[in-house]
Structure 1
Amino acid sequence: MDKDTLFSSFGKWIAPIFTKTFTDRIAETRQDAYVKKLTTTAYLKLFLHAQLHQREGLRSIADDLLSQAFQHELGFESISSSQLCRKNNGVDPELLRHVFEQLAKKIVSKYTALGDRHAIKIIDSTTVSLCLQTYKWAQFRKTKAGIKLHLRLAFVGEDDVLPEFATITPAKKNDRTQMDSLIDEEGVTYVFDRGYVDYKAFDSYSERGIHFVTRLKNNAVIEPIESFEIPTGSLVTMDERVRIGSSQKRAKHEFRMIETSDSEGNQLILVTNHFDRTSDEISAMYRSRWVIETFFKWMKQHLRIKRFYGTSDRAVHNQIWIGLIAFCLLVLVKQDTKTPHSLLQLSRWLNVLLWKPSEHWLNRIHRPPSRKSTGRKRSESS
């Protein structure tokens, strides 16, 4: 990381964003044409600051300019909530999406040493409920509105995942509609739940050398072809080569079906096009997807993506991309400093030391956890 100790902690945190690539992209898209004050760079700093502090609304964000240090960072002394609203509705979400994807790519590229974990991608989605009267463009039921965040997550540690690619749709969009954009890489095993079951897609993956592991729906039609031997002491109770689908809607390729159980003893019926892995390895791949539940919980608790600063689709999308950018920035700090401290702890220290020289924040991060805090962390995770 940069050794300039005069750099504020906030400046250190956001530094990976403001590269030549970012400024060139703004120039190419003419995002700041005729803008004199609230540039896209200033906008992004303001809203990342708001993410960090969980600000309630645009007036709270405008009040942050009472800080002289923040004024110095932005280059102006005040901003109105109406100016923030217009900018939030005007920024192209694709610009922020690109920033997120570049940060995620930078992080994931450093984890090739994870072996099998590196070769697993988890596909899933989460729905954010919205008020129908306020967000009519996002209606998906008679009395409800909402958006759906579709994610492809990569492992960046034994039990940690990072969203490396995402799409945002109205909540009424079926998960299967996003499979083509989320699943596209050979040599990777994609793990997803039965909401993504699509026999035509499964045939396509088999022909393209893309592997997957998923659950079958309860009403799936299955034709056994061949049984495989089950290792002694395995959690697997059945391992077969099968055809799936009815005569009217049947997959062309043969697949492998495995019956096993999850960590709570519930039965799982898995289907995969992996024939070169043991049944226990395939079972472990599917069980690994449960780390996404921990990620979704963290995301909804600590990123501001459930209440929005604007009501337009652009404002909502921009806030989600900024939330994901904020998450990536914290992961980058944890990655670069190799600290055992949690992302939440890094965020707390950043809040306190925001306008102090960055060495204050980095020194605190490098301090090893006390025995007492380590014990508490283990207790909380158990």
Structure 2
Amino acid sequence: MDNHRLFSSFGKWLALICTKTFTSAVAEAPQDKYTKKLMTSAYLKLFLLAQLQNREGLRHIADDVLCEELQRELGLTSISASQLSRKHKQVDPELLRHVFELLAKRVLAAQGTTAQHHKIKIIDSTTVTLCLQKFKWAEFRKTKAGIKIHMRLAYLDGHEVIPEKATVTVAKRNDRTQMEELVHEPGVTYIFDRGYIDYAVFDRYCRDEIFFVTRLKSNTHIEPREEMDVPAGS
């Protein structure tokens, strides 16, 4: 894809994100109070483009700003990797969370009533390893630090899923601590791994008609209440 087609498509994509709600939220946030060059709206556009183009680091992203068409879109003529790094520290992650959750709601709403027949949500976590020397607050092994991202995915028609909600904890925190944030809607079937097992919480789910599917641990005591046939080969 040439630059003209790329930025034409990019502008249409941005229109879904840079809405009046987003620009109002940016205006109310303090991170641009003393900023003269890299405003939050330009920062977001630049990193969204970097995600689309699979940029590997801040220097590659800074090099993108040499493109005149992107300069006009961002209102910048140049930027350095160090400036991008500083902006990372200034931007409130709650603002980005707001954008993420707003977009997820719009996608789900666009599915209409057909998606309501499924009401299936998947929960899983992944660990992101960090340098222990720089992130001592996130220590979880003798030589490593890390954070854990807990993601809730919503099932859509056509066997597709979208990320709907996420929480971030230090890596050594137990998965069960995030159940309150991620599982709470009656009538929905939640699917998650055995790291999230909490039998006391499961009792509450049954009372509240929150359905769930999980793998059992090998030492779990079970009492079959009913047996049902399943199709051969399933």
TM-score, normalised by the number of residues in structure 1: 0.56
| 3-state SS, counterpart of residue 132 of structure 2 | coil
Write the distance in 2 (CA, Å) between the matches of 1:162 and 1:95: 20
Aligned-CA RMSD value: 2.0
Tell me the amino acid that sits aligned with residue 26 of structure 1.
V
1:113 aligns with 2:114: yes
Structure 1 residue 215 displacement after superposition: 1.8
Write the distance in 2 (CA, Å) between the matches of 1:42 and 1:114: 35
For 1:305-344, list aligned pairs within 5 A: none
Structure of larger gyration radius: 1
Structure 1 residue 170 displacement after superposition: 1.5
Write the distance in 1 (CA, Å) between the matches of 2:84 and 2:116: 45
For 1:190-339, list aligned pairs within 5 A: 190-224=190-224, 226-228=225-227, 230-231=228-229, 234=231
Tell me the amino acid that sits aligned with residue 107 of structure 2.
I
Write the distance in 1 (CA, Å) between the matches of 2:128 and 2:157: 27
Paired position in structure 2 for 1:10: 10
| 3-state SS, counterpart of residue 153 of structure 2 | strand
Tell me the amino acid that sits aligned with residue 170 of structure 1.
V
Paired position in structure 2 for 1:49: 49
For 1:75-86, list aligned pairs within 5 A: 75-86=75-86
Deviation sequence 1:255-284 (CA, Å, 0-9, x none): xxxxxx9x6xxxxxxxxxxxxxxxxxxxxx
Tell me the amino acid that sits aligned with residue 164 of structure 1.
E
Closer, same or farther: CA 219–9 of 1 in aligned 2, 3 Å? same
Deviation sequence 1:19-60 (CA, Å, 0-9, x none): 111111122223321222211001111111221222222222
Tell me the amino acid that sits aligned with residue 142 of structure 2.
K
Tell me the amino acid that sits aligned with residue 234 of structure 1.
P
Paired position in structure 1 for 2:58: 58
Closer, same or farther: CA 221–13 of 1 in aligned 2, 3 Å? same
Greater shift, 155-164 or 170-179, is seen at 155-164
Closer, same or farther: CA 227–164 of 1 in aligned 2, 3 Å? closer
For 1:19-38, list aligned pairs within 5 A: 19-38=19-38
Paired position in structure 2 for 1:137: 137
| 3-state SS, counterpart of residue 142 of structure 1 | coil
Write the distance in 2 (CA, Å) between the matches of 1:201 and 1:46: 42
**8 Å contact kept, 2:124–2:151:** yes
| 3-state SS, counterpart of residue 140 of structure 2 | coil
TM-score, normalised by the number of residues in structure 2: 0.89
Paired position in structure 2 for 1:157: 157
Write the distance in 1 (CA, Å) between the matches of 2:34 and 2:199: 51
Paired position in structure 2 for 1:40: 40
Structure 1 residue 115 displacement after superposition: 5.0
Deviation sequence 1:39-82 (CA, Å, 0-9, x none): 10011111112212222222222221111101111112111222
Tell me the matched-pair count.
228
Write the distance in 2 (CA, Å) between the matches of 1:170 and 1:59: 28
The answer for unaligned runs of 5 or more in structure 1 is: 236-260, 264-382
Write the distance in 2 (CA, Å) between the matches of 1:110 and 1:116: 14
Write the distance in 1 (CA, Å) between the matches of 2:27 and 2:221: 55
Runs of 4+ that moved beyond 3 A: none
Closer, same or farther: CA 159–140 of 1 in aligned 2, 3 Å? same
**8 Å contact kept, 2:26–2:41:** no
Structure 1 residue 83 displacement after superposition: 1.5
- Identity, % of aligned pairs? 62
| 3-state SS, counterpart of residue 212 of structure 2 | strand
Structure 1 residue 87 displacement after superposition: 0.7
Tell me the amino acid that sits aligned with residue 39 of structure 1.
M
**8 Å contact kept, 2:187–2:211:** yes
The answer for unaligned runs of 5 or more in structure 2 is: none
Write the distance in 1 (CA, Å) between the matches of 2:175 and 2:151: 10
Deviation sequence 1:85-106 (CA, Å, 0-9, x none): 1111110111001101101111
Write the distance in 2 (CA, Å) between the matches of 1:86 and 1:194: 39
Write the distance in 2 (CA, Å) between the matches of 1:227 and 1:75: 65
